[in-house]
Amino acid sequence: MAQSAPARVAVTDPALSLSYGQLDARANALAQRLQTLGVGPGVRVGVCHDRAAINVVGLLAILKAGAAYVAMDPGHPEARLQFILRDAEVPVLLADRATIELLGSTSAELLDLEQEQMLLEPSGDLAETLVNADDPAYVIYTSGSTGSPKGVQVSHGNLLSLVDWHHQAFAVEPTDRASVVANPAFDASVWELWPYLTAGAEVHIPASNIAVMPERLRDWLVATRITLSFVPTPLAETLLDLPWPDDVALRCMLTGGDVLHRRPRSGTPFALVNNYGVAEGTVVSTSGLVAPDTEAGDPPGIGRPITGTRLYVLDADARPVGAGDEGELYIGGAAVAMGYLNRPGLTAERFLSDPFASDAHARMYRTGDLVRCTAGDEYEFLGRLDTQVQVRGQRVELAEIAAVLNSHPTVARCEVVGRETEPGNLRLIAYVVASAGQPVDREDLRNHASKQLPGYMVPNAFVELESLPLTSNGKIDRDALPAPERAVTGTEAVGTPVEMAVAAMLAELLELSAIGPHDDFFELGVHSLMAAQLLVRIEERFDVELPMLAVFEHPTAAGIAAAIAQDLSPQPSVAG
């Protein structure tokens, strides 16, 4: 498209719009810069930047240089970002200025992505780099059961399989306008970009204060005339409840990442397609159109295998189960990823030889997901065979959270569980046994977790126990763990005008009549998406941009009001 229609819009965000010709030229210039730093096949380059057109330039430049990109979230704690840089052995990191300042101690070469774009000009054609289908295209980090995140390596062949299926399944044309809503470090972002850019379609990126607010996202999708949009399951369910104009350009809303609990209403002016997948299977493994609501009220399934993917439902001995019986899902075919970076033991455990394929070298991935194949060859997701949970589209290993909390000096032992208080609202509960003579400070534990874990992995509630209940064979009896006490809101409390304004914002998000200025947000049920929505409202009301960490460090209306006051207070001048 850069040659045949260079003026056609490729990617646009609120601050920048790039044609295919401009995107190609900028990516070529940056790729040349990367090559001077030794970047090429076999090298992994980090990208840590918010959703933006300039981020797409960075991703494309890395691929053009023949390297693989490592997607990172600038909103994650420094400790997690530093771990990924070390684990992936990243020699160069493309990032924004704030991330570069945060990671000043890293051994990687730090390049300001926006500054590089202003300084660089392409000097001739980019030297052609030979890349094979088996070479890595990107690495995406997911939660790890050993206490640290693990990197999934995905090849160019894996990615091409996804792109080819998507083109055919959704009849993607250059006239299409697609959205990028997912976080860049969430593997769905891969799906939001490459199928459209390779088809010559337009990719549109909404502002961050739009992407987390359902009503605004709906209005943006309508106004921008988006035709194809992926929306994570929890957000999609909220969007389905909103009214939509009949003349909306959106023809298909794609969703996935969590269990879908509802169907579109009759008369919804676009199709809803539910998808299931794992990073180890290159984003999508099954896909299916969701029929409108029926009186039967049966929950939606996860669809059928996509082109190039084979699914097996096997018992504990890896033998096929009978028709309609439940079993563990194994994924085979062209989308099975290369394995885990620097984790040969775990790779051997989860990526197995495929005995059902004609190719002796074929592999299959053991998902740990419990499913059933119905008479109509539709698959139903039934749950997990282990303690892994899904939190707003992200797969979370509870053992990773427990490992972080167990590193706190006041904790002797900790267990973390996920409890679904209502369909689609999973709360993470940490059960803590204190070290001898040590008090458990819930706020201190939350701060400790928030400095090492992404916001969606920080427990919502902490329950102190004298000991963890055990089964007869000495394992933790999760069924015997008590539910956390229901938080009682201090609605009678009186606070400052700013405190009460913040409390009112949160009460509206929680659908409560009122909360008090000293009520703990997380004990009331606040999760990371809701915290992001609160910060957007605070920015609009007070013209103050607070970081997500502020919510974890000061999880009350009074605490947030103090942070707002500090931000608004006059800064002392520095004499020159």
Residue-wise pLDDT tens digits, 49-97: 988 999 999 999 999 999 999 999 998 999 999 999 999 999 999 998 8
Cα separation of the two ends of the chain = 53
The overall average pLDDT reported for the chain is 89
- Tokens 């079993």 map to which residue? 327
Identify the band that residue 121 occupies on the pLDDT scale cut at 50, 70 and 90: low
Whole-angstrom distance, CA of residue 524 vs CA of residue 506: 10
* pLDDT given at position 426: 83
For 283-303, what is the mean pLDDT? 85
Beta strand extents in 315-422 (DSSP E only): 326-333, 339-340, 351-353, 363-373, 379-384, 389-391, 394-396, 411-422
Residue 117 is predicted with a pLDDT of: 67
Dist CA 560 CA 538 (whole Å): 9
Count the neighbouring beta carbons within 10 Å of the beta carbon of residue 219: 13
Write the pLDDT tens digit of every residue in 441-452.
888 998 899 999
Give 500's contacts (C-beta < 8 A, 6+ positions apart): 494, 517, 557
Global confidence as pTM: 0.85
Average pLDDT in the 19-24 region?
95
Q: What is the 3-state secondary structure (H, E, C) of 51-71?
A: CCHHHHHHHHHHHHCCCEEEE
CA separation for the pair 166, 168 (Å, rounded): 5
CB atoms within 10 A of CB 125: 8
Please choose, from the candidates 394, 397, 437, the residue with its C-alpha nearest in 3D space to the C-alpha of residue 417.
Answer: 397
Distance CA 291, CA 454 (A): 35
Q: What percent of the chain has pLDDT over 70?
A: 93
Angstrom distances, CA of residue 414 to CA of 41, 399, 435, 449: 43, 10, 11, 13
What's the pLDDT band for 489 if we cut at 50, 70, 90?
low
Mean pLDDT of 271-300: 89
What gap in Å lies between CA 317 and CA 297, rounded to an integer? 35
The mean pLDDT value for 416-431 works out to 82
When pLDDT is cut at 50, 70 and 90, the band that residue 382 belongs to is very high
* pLDDT tens digits, 328-354: 999 999 999 999 999 999 999 999 999
Q: What integer pLDDT is reported at residue 574 of this predicted model?
A: 45
Residue 229 pLDDT: 98
Beta-bridged to residue 202, according to DSSP, are 177
Residue scoring higher pLDDT (403 or 117) = 403
